[in-house]
Structure 1
Amino acid sequence: MNQFDDIADMTALRLKIDEVDGQLISLLAQRRELIDRAAQIKAREGLPARIDWRVEEVVENARRNARAAGLDPDLIGPIWRALVEAAIAQEDSHLKGNVDDRDAD
């Protein structure tokens, strides 16, 4: 038995999926704020947006966490790689001065 076995019909299930999706969006918004802060720190320290070893570390962390949660790491790996590539583009935009830096030091 899993935690959702008490959901009796598709309407209730869809509502729960929508709720979880909202939580995921909220977490992605928090991650975006962290990436904005990373860009500020990288600008100050003269670091590039892309740090290859860190990209691989983040993806491997996601794969390991997926495996621990019972998810397929081969599914999560590419999703996380796409997430990281989007974050790099976001940082790069900041570093090139293409984003309003509201929270600069």
Structure 2
Amino acid sequence: MTALRAEIDALDRQLIALLARRHALIDRAGRIKAAENLPARIGWRVEQVVANARHNAAAAGLEPDLIETIWRQLVEAAIAQEDRQLKGRQDDRHAD
């Protein structure tokens, strides 16, 4: 059991590293959206990301409903991250 727990812990570290990479990509998306005057929430893209996650989950033998729940939380966190970034850009423009 000790070896299995160590393997799970190592995998968790890898997942966190991947989430950190995703976070950095969301920052990039926020900068692009600010430059192009786009909103943080783009409804069709949210649904596309969730549908992709469901499809990938099913292909990997995972429960699509569970993955959808997790991904919707992940996407909402990303939208909030972009909103903060977009709000910061607006505040910077008003400071001039």
TM-score if structure 1 supplies the norm length? 0.83
Instruction: Tell me, yes or no, if structure 1 residue 75 matches structure 2 residue 66.
Output: yes
Aligned ranges for residues 3-82 of structure 1 at < 5 Å? 10-82=1-73
Deviations 1:23-52 (A, max 9, x none): 000000000000000000000000000001
CA apart distance, 1:58: 0.2
CA apart distance, 1:54: 0.4
How many angstroms apart in 1 are the aligned matches of 2:35 and 2:23? 19
Which residue of structure 2 lines up, in the alignment, with residue 85 of structure 1? 76
Q: Percent identity?
A: 72
The count of residues paired between Structure 1 and Structure 2 equals 89
SS in structure 1 of the partner of residue 66 of structure 2: helix
RMSD: 0.8
Higher helix share: 2
Q: Which amino acid aligns with 2:5?
A: R
How many angstroms apart in 1 are the aligned matches of 2:9 and 2:2? 11
Q: Which amino acid aligns with 1:90?
A: Q
Gapped regions of structure 2 (runs ≥ 5): 90-96
TM-score if structure 2 supplies the norm length? 0.91
Gapped regions of structure 1 (runs ≥ 5): 1-9, 99-105
Bigger relative contact order (CA 8 A; separation at least 6) = 2
CA apart distance, 1:90: 0.1
